Structure 1
Amino acid sequence: MITGYVNEAGRLQPVAEVQERLNGLVWIDMMNPSDAEEDQVEKWLGVDIPTRDEMEEIEISSRLYTEDGATFMTAILPSQADGDDPQMAPVSFVLAGKRLITVRYHEPRAFQTFPIRAEKTPMGCETGEGVLLALLEAIVDRLADILERVGREIDAISRSIFQQKGAKPTKSRDFQKVLESIGRKGDLISNIRDSLVTLERLVGFLGQGALQRKSDKTLRERIKTLSRDVRSLADHDSFLSQKITFLLDATLGMINIEQNAIIKIFSVAAVVFLPPTLIASIYGMNFIHMPELQWPLGYPFALGLMVLSAILPYLFFKHRGWL
């Protein structure tokens, strides 16, 4: 699908017939284009549109380059990122003259919200470069929202690990679910970090191109601000990644503590019941000459001795603080 946008008083307006308004277009958005649509746009603009296989190549030279006067830039962006399993796919941005062309095969949230906002509010979209900067700013805002949400969810996980409200010390928690949740957040943070790395390279490449093209000073300042925002998000992502690692280690430590507590209970129980078992074994022997067998108080004496031999180790453990 091909969607075209024209600039009207700084606002973006979608057009129904792209070919008829071709000269006035500042942005052409190609969503999941077919081969015929790619050939059509290449014929209109004289620009070689990157294929899906070319967009997925990981070499920097394949993602950031200039060809026939057009600037090609590709970044990895998330979609469906309201959960923990976003769809990560490349999006190509092509600056051809005063026109921006975007090629994508998924639906990042910024591509839904940005046109609506740009249609109502002037955002400096007079040229393709201005549209690209405004779109990148919307993308960075979306990534910031994702990291803020993940940060709150990580804090909730941390509270569930370290603040056991109203729970008994011996009550076991479902650490398997905690580990699964930590793993999902770690994967999400890793995906966002990959996206930020590609965006940081893209913005740096865009800044160099703006200097060569002698773009407007305001645009260059916006590129610098955008670069700082991406870098700060990358730092925040690294912080969250370190926190995830800490929570993983802490959870494994909590599991070991609970296992040790359970083993300690069994160990204490074994020690406490060992002396009574020994006494019962002695008086269970079938010897003829055992004085207590003829003694009227022998049975209560043996029971009392077993109880006393169980209580004394328990009191000793209590005194030493082992229980």
Structure 2
Amino acid sequence: MIRGYMNEAGRLHPVDDTLEPFEAVVWIDVVDPSAEEEKLLEDRLGIDVPTMEEMEEIEISSRLYSHDGASFMTAILPARADGDYPEMAPVSFVLAGDRLITVRYHEPRAFQTFPARAGKVRLGCESGEGVLMALLEAIVDRLADILERAGRDIDGISRGVFKRTGGKPTKTRDFQTVLENLGRKGDLTSNIRDSLVTLERLAGFLGQVAIQRKSSKDMRDRVKTLYRDIRSLADHVGFLSQKITFLLDATLGMISIEQNAIIKIFSVAAVVFLPPTLVASIYGMNFHFMPELSWPFGYPFAIGLMILSAILPFLYFKRRGWL
């Protein structure tokens, strides 16, 4: 699918015929192109449209380069990022003259919201370079929203880990869900970090392209601001990753504490019942002469002695704070 947008007083408007009028089109958005569409674009634009295999190359030289007067930039962007498992796929941005061409095989949210917003508000989309800057700013804003949501979710998990109910810590059975949630947030932040790394490299390369194209000072300043925004998001995602690691360690420590508390209960119970067991064992011996056997109060005395021998260790442990 090929979508074309033209500039009208600084606003973007879709064109009925994607490539006509060709001179007025400032942005061509290519979504999962067929072989015929790729050939059509290559014939009209005079450039090689990146294929999915070329976009997935991890070498910087394969993602950021200039060829035949066009600048090719590829970044990994998330789609369907409302959950914890976004669809991560590459998107290529090609600056060819005064025209921007984007090639993608999935639907990042920014590509859905940006055209509608750019059609209502002036975002400096008079040229392909301006469209690229406004689009990248929308992508960074979307990544910031994802990280904000992830941060709120991680704060909620933190409160659940350290929450105390009735003076007692959260039960161990809840920690399995906590570990699962932390794992999902860890995967999400890892994916966003990968995306930010590619965008940071793209912004650095775009700064060089802006100098070579002798772009306006305002455009170069926007590139620098974009780079700083990406760096700040990268620092924030690093903080979130550290917090997830801390919560993971804390959760495992809480599980260990709960397990130790259970073992302590069994250990104390064994010690408490040890003296009564000793008393019962003594009076269970089959000796012929035992003075208490003929004593009328022998049985109550033995029972009372066993109860007393159980209560005294319990009170001692209680006083020492071991229970």
The normalised TM-score by structure 1 is: 0.98
User: How much does 1:171 deviate?
Assistant: 4.3
- Distance between the aligned counterparts of 1:80 and 1:189, measured in 2? 15
User: How much does 1:278 deviate?
Assistant: 1.1
Partner of 1:65: 65
User: How much does 1:321 deviate?
Assistant: 1.2
Trace 1:194-233 onto structure 2 (pairs within 5 A).
Answer: 194-233=194-233
Q: Which amino acid aligns with 2:78?
A: P
C-alpha offsets along residues 25-74 of structure 1, whole Å, 9 cap, x if unaligned?
Answer: 10000011111111110011101001000000000000000000000000
Are residue 273 (structure 1) and residue 278 (structure 2) matched? no
Secondary structure at the residue paired with 1:48?
Answer: coil
Q: Which amino acid aligns with 2:210?
A: A
CA contact (8 A) 2:163 2:169 kept: no
User: How much does 1:133 deviate?
Assistant: 0.2
Trace 1:129-140 onto structure 2 (pairs within 5 A).
Answer: 129-140=129-140
5+ residue gaps, structure 1, are: none
- Identical pairs, percent: 76
Partner of 1:44: 44
Secondary structure at the residue paired with 2:26?
Answer: strand
Partner of 2:286: 286
Partner of 1:21: 21
CA contact (8 A) 2:280 2:306 kept: yes
Q: Which amino acid aligns with 1:204?
A: G
Q: Which amino acid aligns with 2:224?
A: K
C-alpha offsets along residues 291-314 of structure 1, whole Å, 9 cap, x if unaligned?
Answer: 111110000000011011101111
User: How much does 1:19 deviate?
Assistant: 2.7
Partner of 2:298: 298
Partner of 1:156: 156
- Distance between the aligned counterparts of 1:18 and 1:84, measured in 2? 35
User: How much does 1:316 deviate?
Assistant: 1.2
Q: Which amino acid aligns with 1:33?
A: P
Partner of 2:7: 7
Partner of 1:189: 189
Q: Which amino acid aligns with 2:314?
A: Y
Q: Which moved more, 1:162-171 or 1:17-26?
A: 162-171
- Distance between the aligned counterparts of 1:167 and 1:61, measured in 2? 59
Q: Which amino acid aligns with 1:193?
A: R
Partner of 1:239: 239
- Distance between the aligned counterparts of 2:34 and 2:250, measured in 1? 50
CA contact (8 A) 2:172 2:255 kept: no
User: How much does 1:173 deviate?
Assistant: 4.1
- Distance between the aligned counterparts of 1:185 and 1:115, measured in 2? 30
User: How much does 1:125 deviate?
Assistant: 0.3
Partner of 2:74: 74
Q: Which amino acid aligns with 2:227?
A: S
Q: Which amino acid aligns with 2:157?
A: I
Partner of 1:177: 177
Are residue 120 (structure 1) and residue 126 (structure 2) matched? no
Moved beyond 6 Å, runs of 4+: none
- Distance between the aligned counterparts of 1:61 and 1:168, measured in 2? 57
Q: Which amino acid aligns with 1:118?
A: A
User: How much does 1:170 deviate?
Assistant: 8.0
- Distance between the aligned counterparts of 1:166 and 1:126, measured in 2? 63
CA contact (8 A) 2:99 2:127 kept: yes
C-alpha offsets along residues 107-140 of structure 1, whole Å, 9 cap, x if unaligned?
Answer: 0000000000000111100000000000000000
- Distance between the aligned counterparts of 1:134 and 1:170, measured in 2? 47
Partner of 2:144: 144
Are residue 99 (structure 1) and residue 114 (structure 2) matched? no
- Distance between the aligned counterparts of 2:169 and 2:110, measured in 1? 47
C-alpha offsets along residues 270-309 of structure 1, whole Å, 9 cap, x if unaligned?
Answer: 0000110111111112221111111100000000110111
- Distance between the aligned counterparts of 2:28 and 2:166, measured in 1? 58
Q: Which amino acid aligns with 1:133?
A: M
User: How much does 1:320 deviate?
Assistant: 1.4
RMSD: 1.0
Partner of 1:34: 34
5+ residue gaps, structure 2, are: none
User: How much does 1:21 deviate?
Assistant: 1.4
